[in-house]
């Protein structure tokens, strides 16, 4: 009798859902010395697939370019995230 072999194939799909109205804001980034696209902390967390506390740690560690919108929200420069969109 021959050996039986079973092959198992697992496929995964990943879906990132972003709010349609959540478009980046184009504004001046002091660190980049250029106009860049910026998103809120929540939007940046979704793009990086991390929680907001991780994003806050990166901000406090000086790893991200951050500015404050007129409404008071923090805005993250996409270039500092590595997203050139």
For 23-77, how does the pLDDT look when each residue is reduced to its tens digit (9 = 90+)? 889 999 999 999 999 999 999 998 888 999 999 999 999 999 999 988 888 999 9
- Cβ atoms of residues 25 and 75 within 8 Å: yes
pLDDT for position 15 = 54
pLDDT tens string 6-27 = 888 887 765 555 555 568 899 9
Does residue 1 have a pLDDT over 80? no
**Helical pair 41-48 and 52-60, crossing angle rounded to 10 deg:** 110
* pTM, to two decimals: 0.68
C-alpha 66/C-alpha 56 separation (Å) is 11
pLDDT for position 26 = 93
- In what order do the strands lie in the sheet containing 74-77? 25-29, 34-40, 74-77, 66-68
């Amino acid at each position: 009798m021959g050996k039986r072999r079973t092959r198992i194939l697992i496929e995964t799909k990943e879906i990132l859902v972003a709010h349609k109205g959540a478009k980046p804001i184009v504004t001046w980034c002091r660190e980049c010395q250029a106009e860049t696209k910026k998103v809120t902390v929540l939007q940046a967390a979704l793009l990086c697939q991390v929680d907001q506390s991780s994003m806050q740690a990166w901000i406090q560690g000086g790893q991200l370019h951050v500015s404050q919108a007129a409404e008071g929200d923090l805005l993250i420069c996409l270039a500092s995230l590595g997203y050139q969109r």
